[in-house]
Amino acid sequence: MDTNNTPLRRAFWTFFVLLLITFSISCNAVNPEKQPVFSNIVGGLLCGTTSDNQCTVPAGKRLIIEYVSGYVFQPPSASETISVAMAITDPQLGLNGNSFHHFVATKTNATGTTDVFVFSAPLRMMLHPQATFYFSSVAAVAVSGYLVDSE
């Protein structure tokens, strides 16, 4: 009788191998708290507010966007909401500068000369190195997330 190939021994080694695989995967997981923080402030100014002022993902990094918010000034109108588009150019995702995400901005203030609309939303999106993006018609936008090394 072969005592080296018992069901208990096979179960132990199967469990041990699965434990090693799980440990290996968890060691390679990205921990957002330990990654460089991304903010769309470049040289003290906001990027991503117009097509002439796009944000660019740094070379060698991927950007994981987690949250966006912003506001828009519009001439007075009866509109209570407007749409804000996020335009992205990321060839690796097949995106060529067209609007990809749309956010509903809600009127929060009307002074008689200007309507103010705001939007705020969690967003989970990954962009590749050198990808660019901007938000249409915004006065200001805040984009937060983190950078990971590109593989």
What domains sit in the chain, N to C, each tagged with a CATH number? 34-149 (2.60.120.340)
pLDDT (tens digit, 9 = 90+) per residue, 8-38? 656 555 544 444 444 444 444 556 566 777 7
Average pLDDT over the chain reads 82
Q: Which value, to the nearest 10 degrees, does the dihedral of the CA atoms of residues 94, 40, 62, 118 take?
A: -60
CA distances from 23 to 16, 29, 34, 67, 148 (A): 11, 10, 19, 30, 21
**pLDDT for position 107:** 95
**pLDDT for position 25:** 40
Phi, psi of 75 (to 5 degrees): -60, 155
| DSSP alpha helix (H) spans, the chain | 7-27
Q: Does pLDDT of 145 surpass 60?
A: yes
